[in-house]
Chain A
Amino acid sequence: MNVVYADNNATTQVAKKVLDEMLPYLETYYGNPSSMHTFGGQVAKNIAMAREQTAALLNASPEEILFTSCGTESDSTAIQAAIKSNPDRKHIVTTRVEHPAIKNICEHSAKNEFHVTYVPVDENGTLDLDYLYKNLTDDTAIASIMWANNETGVIFPVEEIAAKVKEKGIVFHTDAVQAVGKIPIDLKNTEIDMLSLSGHKIHAPKGIGALYVKKGTKFSPFLIGGHQEKGRRGGTENVASIIGLGTASELSKNLMEEENTRVKEMRDSLEKGLLERIDNAIVNGGKEKRLPNTTSIAFEYVEGEAILLMMDEFGICASSGSACTSGSLEPSHVLRAMGVPFTAAHGTIRFSLSTYNTMEEVNFIIEKLPPIIEKLRKMSPFWKKNQ
C-alpha cells in the first residue's frame, strides 16, 4: 500500500541528499573531531561548515549555533540557562499553547519556587499581547513564546514581542521548531536571544537539533561534560547528524519559496476540497498568519482516533488533536486554550504537508476522507440530533 504522508509537523522524510552527505561520516570518517590526529580532527572542519549552513538558514553567525540532540533539549537548555543566569528572578512567561517541550519544563519549574504566567490566546489562536506585556516584571527571568504552533500552524509575531521583552531587560526565547524552514527567519535583525530548532522537521534525521544563542547572551550549559561546542554543551558530537542538519538547512533555504507557493497551494486545495465535501467541518485557528503547510480541521460529532485509523486503511498519515491518540484523555491543550468546543475538538485532524507531497496525494485524501466521516457520523448518536 502506498503511503500518503501528510504528517510533516510530526516528522519528515530524510532528504536523499542529506543521507548521502551523512553516510561518509558513518562509514569512513568516523573519527572524533576532538582528536589531535588528522583522521579525527579533519571532521571538525565539516562540522564548522554544517554550523555555517545552519546559521545561514536563520541569518545568524555560526558561533551563535549550538548543536543539541533535539528540539526538546534546545528548549530545556534555553529555559534553564536563563534561570541560572538570573538567579534572583523567579518568574517565567510563556503561552498556553506551547509544545510539551516548553509546557512541561515550565510546569516542572513551577514546582520549584518559580511562578509561571501562561499567556492566553483567542478563538483564532491569536496571542493576547497586552496580557503578555502586562505580565513582564522585574522578577521575570525569561519569556518563551513559540514562533508557530505545531497543531494549528498559527504564527505569533515573535520579532515584535522580542523587541518589547528586551526593552524590559528580559531574556527572550522562541521555540521555532515548526517555523524553521517554512517561513523566512532573519535573526540578525531581531532581538531574539535564543531560538530552538529540530532537524527532523526539516528533512534531517531524528536526534539532532540546534539552539541559537545570540552573541552576548548569558549562558549556562545544560549538559555538563567536555569542551565540545565551546563548553556550552558537553558530549561527543553527533557528527553525521550535524552534517545532515547542515545539508538540510541549505536545502530548506532553497525550498523556502516552494514551501510558500506550491506547498501552500496544496494545503489550500486540501482544505477547500474537504470543507466543500464535508458539512460541519471547521478550520481551527486563524487562516491569515499561518504556516503554509498546516491545516487543522475539526469534523464535528466524530472522534479523531477513529478517523485516523480509517484513513490508515488507505495509507493516509495525519494526526489528531483528540484525546485518544495521545494517551491523555482530554482534547489537546491548544484547542482547549482556543475555546474550541468539545464537539469539534475531539474530531480534529491535523494535516501537515511538505515539498515531497503531490497534488495527486491531496486529491486522494479529498476523495477518501468524506466517506469516512459519513460512515462514522452514521454511527454517532449525536449526529442526527444536530441536523
Chain B
Amino acid sequence: MWEYTDKVKDHFLNPRNVGEIKDADGIGEVGSLACGDALKLTFKLDENKRIKDAQFQTFGCASAIASSSALTEMLKGLTLEEAEKISNENIAEYLGGLPKEKMHCSVLGRDALEKAIGSYRGESEKKIEGEIVCECFGVTDLEIKRVVAENGLINVEDVTDYVKAGGGCGKCHERIQEIINQINGIQIQPKKKEKALTNIQKIKLIQETLSREIQPALAKDGGDIELIDVDGNKVIVKLRGTCATCSKSELTLKNYVETKLRELVADSIEVEEVQ
C-alpha cells in the first residue's frame, strides 16, 4: 500500500483542471503508455502574459494524476518566468510530499511544464540528447545527471524513484552508479579531504600547495606570496614582489589563491592578507 497524504488523495479523487485547452499557447506531452505514465499539459496566457488557464490529461497512477492536478493549480496566475522555476520538489511539497518511490510523478510534471513553455517560445522539440542509459524506459545520461544533481540522489534506487531509470531489467544499474559517482564525486571528495585533515596536515598541505602551485604561477608575473599564519580555516598571507604593489592584488588573492586552496586543501578556506 502506498502512503499518500490527504492532499494527494484529494487531488487524485477530485482532480482539478482535467482536459485539454483547444487554442492553447503552450502544449507539453511527456511519457508513454509503455512507461506506465504520460501527461499532456496545456496552458493559455492572458493579455499580461500570465497563465490564465492550465489543464491536464494524465495516464498513470494516483500520484501521477495528483501531481498533474497540483501542477495546474500552481501554474495559474504565474508568468512563464515564474512558472519555469517550479521544480519537481515544489510539486511534491505542494502535495504535502510524495512517497519516495513516486517522485518520478513529480518529475513527469516538471518535464511537461518545461516542454509546454518551450513550445510557446517556439523552441523546436528537443531531440533526445545524451546517450540512452536505461533502455527499458528510454532515460538518457543527461536526464539522470540532472535529477541526481538537483535532488542530491546517492544511489541507483533513488534514481529509479525519480526518473524510473533502472526500474526494468536492471542491466543499467552499474552505469547509473557510475553517473552518480561522477556527479557526486565533485562534491563529496573535497568534503572527505577536509574531514581527514588534522591541523598539522592542513598546514602542511597549504604550504605544499603554495610552493608547488601558487608561487610558480605568481612568479611568472614577478610576484610572490608568503604564508604568515593559519588560524582554523583562515589562511593569512603576505603578497610580495610585483603583487605587493599591484592594484589587482585583492582579485589575485580571492580568485586565484583562495580558489586554488579550496580546491586542493579544504573548501571552507578563506584567504586574508596581513596588513
Q: Which residues of A contact B (CB under 8 A)?
A: 301-306, 309-310, 313, 322-324, 327-331, 342-343, 346, 378-382
Contact = CB atoms under 8 A, between A and B. Distances in A.
Interface stretch (B34-42, B118-126, B205-213, B236-244): B34-42
A382 B59 contact: yes
Nearest to B41: A381
Contact of B59 (A327, A329, A381): A381
A343 B59 CA distance: 10
Contacts of B168: 329-330
Contacts of A303: 36-37, 59-61, 64
Given A302-B59, A343-B33, A379 B18 contact: yes
B167 A324 contact: no
Given A310-B13, A329-B160, A382-B38, A324 B61 contact: yes
Contacts of A330: 36, 136, 167-168
A329 B167 contact: yes
Interface size for chain B: under 10, 10 to 19, 20 to 34, or 35 or more residues? 20 to 34
A106 to B, nearest CB: 16
Contact of B12 (A306, A329, A346): A306
B58 A380 contact: yes
A379 B15 contact: yes
A379 B36 contact: no
Interface in B233-256: none
User: Which of B18, B40, B61 gathers most chain A CB within 10 Å?
Assistant: B61
Contacts of A322: 36, 61
B29 to A, nearest CB: 7
Q: Is the interface of A mostly helix, strand, loop or mixed?
A: loop
A335 to B, nearest CB: 12
B65 A379 contact: yes
Interface in B35-76: 36-40, 57-62, 64-65
A309 B4 CA distance: 11
Given A306-B65, A309-B12, A379 B33 contact: no
A241 to B, nearest CB: 25
B240 to A, nearest CB: 62
A366 B168 CA distance: 34
A377 to B, nearest CB: 9
A330 B167 CA distance: 7
Given A324-B36, A327-B101, A346-B36, A305 B62 contact: yes
Contacts of B18: 378-379
